[in-house]
Amino acid sequence: MAQTRRFELAISPHVGSPQTTRKIMFDVVIALLPALAAATWFFGPGALLLVALSTATAVGVEYICLKFMKRPVSFAFDGSAVVTGILLAYNVPPGVPWWLPVLGSAFAIAVGKQAFGGLGHNIVNPALLGRAFLMASFPILMTAGWAAPESWRTGEDCGWDTNAIVQEELAILPGADAISGATPLNVLKQTFDLDESSRTALAEGETEVAAELEARAVSTRSALSSSGTYANLFLGRRGGCIGETSVLLLLIGAVYLFARGVLEPRLPLSYLGAVAVFAWIFGGSGWFDGDPLFHVLAGGVVLGGFFMVSDMVTTPVTPKGRIIFGIGAGLITMIIRRWGGYPEGCSYSILLMNLVTPLIDRFTKPKVFGEVKSNG
Amino acid sequence: MTKPSTFRGGTHPPGHKDLSSGSPIVRLPAPEVVTVPLCQHLGAPSKPVVTKGDRVVRGQEIGAQNGFISLPTHSPVNGTVKDIKDLPMPHRRSGPAVVIETESEDGGCVFEPWSDHASHSPAEIIDRIKQAGVCGMGGASFPTYVKLSPPPDKTIDTLIINGVECEPYLTADHRLMLENPSDMILGMEMLAYALGVERCMIGIEVNKPDAIELLESMGVSVVPLKVSYPQGAEKQLIDATVGREVPAGGLPMDVGVVVQNVGTAAAVACAVRDGMPSMRRIVTVTGLGVASPGNFEACVGTPFSDLIEAAGGYSGDVERLISGGPMMGMALFTDGVPVTKGTSGVLALEPGEVREVSEGPCIRCGKCVDVCPIRLTPSIIATAAEYERWTIARDFGALNCMACGTCSYVCPSGRYLVHYIKRAQDAIRAMGTGKEA
Ligand code: SF4
Ligand code: SF4
């Protein structure tokens, strides 16, 4: 009989798939990079710098928090802080001072993530919580820091034709000329205000003024729904937050994630689908006359759909729950866009849905194998 | 060929079957000393009926059946009983075993050989299968005769032979189907006869095209199955082959099906036709940690170290020794444990083959939910178990988990999901409020 040998014990299974949390996080970082190129192209190196500062802050603050709480500091380098840092910067306007994303990023990590117990334990998306914090604390900076695309290079105030038309149309509104490189969603929101003013004018019997206001609203909306606008939105020539500019480059990142098996399609598709459907139903001035394509391309829903609605930690794990989450976030996004106090509702909608994620998981518990038939 | 059938969920770990799938079965002689466990089957261990110093002959009953879910145990050799004591086991920490010094390994036909099983009643066949100590050879080692004796209110209409072998690395069943298909087919006919069913089929994953072709050419009804783990789990196999969903908490017989492994079918043939108790089995010895992986037919009680030696000995740095497959097999602390009727494989894995464990927090990626063949929510059950929230674990169906390990396999955070879920199961059962469905 051969000499017996001793071995280490371990729990089965003894093999594991090669995918790890760290690899997933770095895949997300890679998928976010094309959009960074777009941000740099359209908004200049300043945007790149903001992203870099935000990311460095996120990792730094995570490290300090872990150290402080005597937890393994290696978690700071698992890539999740990098993702949060990038996303926070992607959600601020390009024209903000450098300390704003730094502050937001620090808040996101310290309060949005580590206070809850770190990766996997946070209830809401840390980057979006950081952004909400900035919105609440610095509302002016967060809504006025828009830059016209490519203006940093061309020196022109606005390189976007449609925007110019819109500027003209809106000149009638008090204070409207202060909008420089406003986002397309701002413009849309203004047309709803025009509708409102028109109705007021009508009520006061000023038929002519009412008709003129209404005509401006209609022509502005048709300018927004033109193929030129679509192309600009798709390529990224628009005002907006740093990361949301180029739909094309965001999609390239999304395809990469999907190919790597990191992106689960239910969440983003149900979200974007819901945005499109609700946009059509009530995203225009009346009912069933909205422009789904404009609403999907404009603002942050593509960024949000593929990188924040799809955030694993803060969204449901059940297949049905994911679809419900996507539809719910899409509905809230469109309600805010149409009737809310802000032109864009993407990030708040996701935050709100994050809060009900545990509830969704509970109520969408999949039917266990054999349960259906045994009960029948 | 039509699209191979499958079940919902599952994953596809690398097979590594080519290490040993081309090696014909080598019959190993009995070692000088055999350590015959009395607890090879699921259920109560058999009661020893020999004492130290007794001479035993091959095939002689050395342990008597001890209850309904239990089986007798037979000596695989002629020799002398040296000792009866608790020893380390491959499938549990330790268990009672009879240590026999081998003199020779001939004879052994202790029952009357029945060349024509159809001239005996199904009850006689089932009794023979029990007397011969045949248990499931796919891994769970459930006494075969029990599965053949359904309560009168259950009507069985289908027999499924499990030739899936979905665990990576293992090739014992594959080689058996290639090298001894006639015994397997005969055993299948006997099982069908004992159950009184007409409809029988064999499920084989399409990564064994040679076996599928051979058995089809011999007139067996083969259901080709997609390569997906755990295709060979009973409930998944039944779903994939006949499209019936075994009720949660129920048994295959609840949907009129009995599943038996290919090795079990061959053992049945030996027991009925040759009058031989179940004393030998085919074991795949493989992994990069052995020099020349292969398939061996060894008698029960053969120490794993002998099998490793037969496979050329250890090569390189062995990180882990496993009894069974890498998904559900047990890690061993010693290679001094004996082969049992349920030992399908011995794996010596190098560091690169074994998953590196560094458990992280659940990032709620949902991969475990997508792959669970029972459609559980492993992440939530495991987290609930971590915080000892047993009712949540129960509500999410923890008791239905079959510990297949698919969820742990895919988890990017390396969470010990199966471990947590098993803990939850124990706690829920202890609470006594575990509703089964
Ligand atoms: S071990 Fe249990 S929970 Fe995990 S995949 Fe298998 S059945 Fe599902
Ligand atoms: S696979 Fe792991 S990390 Fe992903 S949800 Fe399941 S337990 Fe959590």
pTM, to two decimals: 0.91
> According to the model, what pLDDT value does residue A175 have?
35
> According to the model, what pLDDT value does residue B379 have?
96
Instruction: Report, as an integer, the average pLDDT of A176-194.
Output: 69
Contact between B134 and B271 under an 8 Å Cβ cutoff? The reply is yes
**Range(s) of chain B covered by CATH 3.10.20.600:** 25-101+277-353
Instruction: Report, as an integer, the average pLDDT of A29-43.
Output: 94
Residue B216 contacts by C-beta under 8 Å, 6 or more apart in sequence? B222
* Best to test chain B binding among A368, A371, A373 (most B CBs inside 10 Å): A368
Task: Report the CATH fold assignment for B114-273.
Answer: Rossmann fold (3.40.50)
Parse chain A into domains and list their residue ranges: 22-143, 264-362
> According to the model, what pLDDT value does residue A169 have?
47
pLDDT, one tens digit per residue, over B124-151 is 999 999 999 999 998 789 999 999 999 9
Cα separation, B185 vs B189, in Å, equals 6
> According to the model, what pLDDT value does residue B182 have?
96
CA of B227 to the centre of ligand 1 (A): 18
φ, ψ of residue A136 to 5 degrees: the values are: -75, -35
Report the residue from A14, A21, A372 with minimal CB separation from B412: A21
> According to the model, what pLDDT value does residue A179 have?
36
Handedness of CA A176, A178, A179, A181 (dihedral sign): positive
- Mutation probe of ligand 1 site: the residue of B7, B328, B367, B376 with most atoms within 8 A of C-beta: B376
Q: Is the CB of B315 under 6 A from ligand 2?
A: no
Tell the burial category of A161 from Cβ atoms under 10 Å away from its Cβ (0-12, 13-18, 19+).
middle
Which chain A residues are within 8 Å of B349, Cβ to Cβ?
14
Percent residues over pLDDT 70 in chain A:
90
Complex confidence, ipTM: 0.88
Which chain B residues are within 8 Å of A11, Cβ to Cβ?
331, 416, 418-419
C-alpha of B309 from chain center: 23
> According to the model, what pLDDT value does residue B357 have?
72
Which chain A residues are within 8 Å of B11, Cβ to Cβ?
17
pLDDT, one tens digit per residue, over A115-158 is 999 999 999 999 999 999 999 999 888 877 777 677 777 665 44
* Best to test chain B binding among A8, A14, A124, A313 (most B CBs inside 10 Å): A14
For residue A6, pLDDT over 90 is answered with: no
* Omega before residue A358 within 30° of 0, cis: no
pLDDT, one tens digit per residue, over B82-124 is 999 999 999 888 899 999 999 999 887 789 999 999 999 999 9
CA of B339 to the centre of ligand 1 (A): 27
| Residues of chain B falling short of pLDDT 50 | 434-437
Handedness of CA A24, A26, A29, A33 (dihedral sign): negative
> According to the model, what pLDDT value does residue A224 have?
84
Q: Measured between CA atoms, how close is B46 to chain A, in angstroms?
A: 27
For residue A40, pLDDT over 80 is answered with: yes
> According to the model, what pLDDT value does residue B92 have?
83
For the domain covering B25-101+277-353, report its CATH number.
3.10.20.600
Cα separation, A202 vs A146, in Å, equals 34
Cα separation, B380 vs B361, in Å, equals 12
Size of interface A-B (CB pairs under 8 A): 205
Q: Which residue, by CA, sits nearest to atom 4 of ligand 1? A: B407
Q: Measured between CA atoms, how close is A229 to chain B, in angstroms?
A: 36
Averaged confidence pLDDT in chain A: 87
> According to the model, what pLDDT value does residue A167 have?
52
pLDDT, one tens digit per residue, over B26-79 is 999 999 999 999 999 999 999 999 999 999 999 999 999 999 999 999 999 999
Across the interface, whether the CB atoms of A16 and B409 are under 8 A apart is answered yes
**Range(s) of chain B covered by CATH 3.40.50.11540:** 114-273
Across the interface, whether the CB atoms of A372 and B235 are under 8 A apart is answered no
Report the residue count for chain B.
437
For residue A321, pLDDT over 90 is answered with: yes
Residue A115 contacts by C-beta under 8 Å, 6 or more apart in sequence? none
Which chain A residues are within 8 Å of B306, Cβ to Cβ?
1-2
Question: Which residues of chain A from 294 to 333 reach within 8 Å of chain B, CB to CB?
Answer: 312-319, 322
Q: Which ligand is nearest to the CA of B397?
A: 1
> According to the model, what pLDDT value does residue A150 have?
72
Tokens of B4: 């191979």
Measured at the CA of A277, the angle between CA A271 and CA A279, to 5 degrees, comes to 95
Q: Is the CB of B414 under 6 A from ligand 2?
A: no
Which of A16-25, A160-169, B35-44, B156-165 shows the lowest per-residue confidence on average (mean pLDDT)?
A: A160-169
Of B177, B145, B175, B147, nearest to B278 by C-alpha is: B145
**Checking DSSP bridges between strand B320-323 and strand B330-332, what pairing results, if any?**
antiparallel
pLDDT, one tens digit per residue, over A237-279 is 888 899 998 999 999 999 999 999 999 899 999 999 999 999 9
Confidence of residue A216 (pLDDT cuts 50, 70, 90): confident
Question: Could you write out the three-class secondary structure of A116-144?
Answer: HCCCCCCCCCHHHHHHHHHHHHCHHHHHH
The torsion region of residue A44 among left (phi > 0), alpha (psi -120 to 50) and beta comes to left
